[in-house]
Amino acid sequence: MDKDQAFKVLAQQLEISNKKAKELIDKGLVYVGNYKVKIARGLVDVETKFRVEEINEVKIIFEDDDIIAVDKPAFVDSYDIQDSIEGATLIHRLDRDTSGVLLLAKNEAFLNRAIEAFKQRKVTKKYIAWVDGIFYEEETIDEPISTQKKGKAVSRIDKKHGKRAVSIVRPLEVQGKKSKVEVEIETGRTHQIRVHLSHIGYPIIGDELYGSFTRSKRILLHASSIALLGYSFTAREPKDIARYK
């Protein structure tokens, strides 16, 4: 049985460059059946049939002289969106797997005002997530978080060295042994929602890093709304968030 590196087999199958094939795998878009291909250089049978997930378009929700609000699809890097919009700078960022409202500033004066609003916690951010387990009662999680950023960022509850982090979790829906929740965050630590939900025993579906054993095409987290400096924006839930399975 002949074998070759996954990205080379994919490149031949799709008739694309090796570089493009490797990028698709690195972005988590390539599957064999229901299993994500995680290692681009891993050896696979040359007859392996791959499936590549399609990425939704980036949609502009609102734009004026100061701000651009976009509906970011899953599997797209926030910095790639910044690079695609001339003269725009990210005000905040979302993880690659996370969909939803993403804000960019169009001038330095507004960027500085927005950054100050974040520092003073004058920003309201709400997310929707599907989690493992039956969640039925509102809960406020006030647990400090520290982040190690050597390579991929990894965060954890750290009562001694962590920075304060507050998340308010509200139940929305239950399907079997999975729950849909709304999470409002009062702080913005790296992976805050993921760490907090895992800490209370409800890891986000697809979030293997923080304890989910349920397979999913992505981490099922969506930035549903954000309000700051007199602006308020919402992003519709994509299909995988609107209804689980």
Catalytic residues: 95
**Rounded distance, CA 190 to CA 227, Å?**
19
Best CA proximity match to 204, nearest among 127, 94, 100, 102: 127
**What is the per-residue DSSP string for 175-214?**
ETTEEEEEEEESS--TTHHHHHHHHTT-PBTT-GGGT--S
Taking a C-beta distance cutoff of 8 angstroms, is the pair 88, 110 a contact? Answer: no
**Rounded distance, CA 245 to CA 224, Å?**
19
**Rounded distance, CA 226 to CA 146, Å?**
24
Token pair 């969640």: residue: 135
